[in-house]
Chain A
Amino acid sequence: MKKFTAADLSMGAVFVGLMAIGANIAVWFPFLAVPIGGVSVPLSLQTFFAILAGLLLGKKLGVFTMFTYIMIGFAGVPVFANMKSGLFVLFDYTGGFLLSFLAVAFITGWIADKMERPKLLPLAGAAFAGVLANYLIGVNYMYVAMNTWLGLHISYQAAWLGMAPFLIKDVGLTMVAAALMLKIANSLQHRSAPFSSTPR
């Protein structure tokens, strides 16, 4: 297995920081709490950054970066949504969304690794696959969590219905993400060596 270079590690660390900001973006930009169906849903750019990590860093470094992000949160740095941190996020019913970022980065990274040149359509496809993985894992985890250790018996449909406003938000965000990613990917022509193309 190829070793991670210094550039890989620092790029990954930056994405860990971006994930932390993305999770709490509404703290800095309060207007990002979007009203959907009468409920104010604070936007989270976590999924967006997880997808971006997969696309820009590739599947291996992307997954590794997400793993580091989760571990940093476990170590007590408030990087998760709502400035949470610590192991107990796993007991919360939203813990699956956190774990799903590993899969999100893997899937989008896998698709990006296959792409020779960044194009809008495959990028959008990769981003949608990422959101799909996010919700498939997240909602199923929530269902299992509620019905086992939280001891609340909710139906499978109710679990999905409860997450519907968030899903709408994330699909909307993904469309913006795909367009933005194309811009970024084009300005960083060599995905494996993101620095070589940056003019000094």
Chain B
Amino acid sequence: MNNAFIIGQYVPGESIVHRLDPRTKMIIIFLFVIVVFFANSVWSYGLLTVFSLLCALTTRIHFSYILKGLTPVWFLIVFTLLLHLIVTKEGDVLFRVFSYPIYSGAVAQGAAISLRFFLLIMVTSLLTLTTTPIEITDAIESLLQPLKKVKFPVHELALMMSISLRFIPTLMQETEKISKAQASRGVDFRTGTAKERIQAVVPLLVPLFISAFKRAEELAMAMEARGYQGGEGRTKLRELKTGRLDISVYALFAVVVILLFIIRD
């Protein structure tokens, strides 16, 4: 059960999007999130939809797989659309469902907001589909460098993220072990009042805490034994490079943004 989500959403591949500098992807997605809110006409939404679909296609990841990744939010998108159809009362009555009038304004507004939401979610999920968490960690460290000026511990953030990446699967396995250990001792928590269930949490957490703290202690000792001194003068195993490919992607995105501002109302 656990192996499915330990790795995260990353799908290995060799596409252009996979090969882009993770910083490029993050910057473009950040700008895209802002730009989406400037779309206000059919054409501008169309342009952004074409751009997002183009991005999704170049990842060479099967489109149905990308859509499957969006399952947790499908509900929200459909819910938004339905609520708009019911609540909004603008424009002419288009048709009636069981004598309940559906207005044209409601359809337009609901569709626009659902589409905007869909685009935001799809494009942001492309980042995690084509980039490993460790690459994103490197990119975050690099992009946040300016914050060092205000004494923000950028290197420590990246290091803590890397350690967490290592710890999360281990702790999840540990939790599963504890749950099985409890089951093998014949503990049955399936019945009981809410209060009893909440109290049942305590004996489950204590072994989890003990093993987690022990791991932290061992790691800290190992780091100190190897002379960990903080980020000063440390070299990197993976260097990030912005190449020609990245520059052409920036240029393409700039064209899309300029076009959008020309055709929006």
Contacts and interface: CB of A to CB of B under 8 A. Distances in A.
B117 A86 contact: no
Interface in B74-99: 76, 80, 83-84, 87
A84 B74 CA distance: 13
A76 B133 CA distance: 6
Contacts of B109: 151
Interface residues of B, number: 77
A194 interface: yes
B167 A17 contact: yes
A71 B176 CA distance: 25
Nearest to B170: A17
A13 interface: yes
B151 interface: yes
B161 interface: yes
A47 B117 CA distance: 28
Contacts of B127: 76, 86-87
A98 to B, nearest CB: 14
A95 B188 CA distance: 34
Interface in B110-135: 113, 116-117, 120-121, 124-125, 127-129, 131-133
B168 A20 contact: yes
A9 B163 CA distance: 8
A75 B220 contact: no
A115 B37 CA distance: 47
Nearest to B131: A76
A76 B151 contact: no
Interface of B: 5, 8-10, 29, 33, 37, 72-73, 76, 80, 83-84, 87, 109, 113, 116-117, 120-121, 124-125, 127-129, 131-133, 136-137, 140, 151, 153, 156-157, 159-161, 163-168, 170-172, 175-176, 178-179, 189-190, 192, 194-195, 197-202, 204-205, 208-209, 212-213, 215-217, 219-220, 223-224, 228, 230
Interface of A: 1, 3-7, 9-14, 16-18, 20-21, 25, 28-32, 34-36, 43, 45, 64-65, 67-69, 71-72, 74-79, 82-88, 91-93, 149-153, 169, 172-173, 176, 180, 184, 188, 194-195, 198
Given A6-B220, A72-B133, A87-B33, 5 more contacts: A6-B228, A10-B216, A13-B219, A69-B164, A76-B128
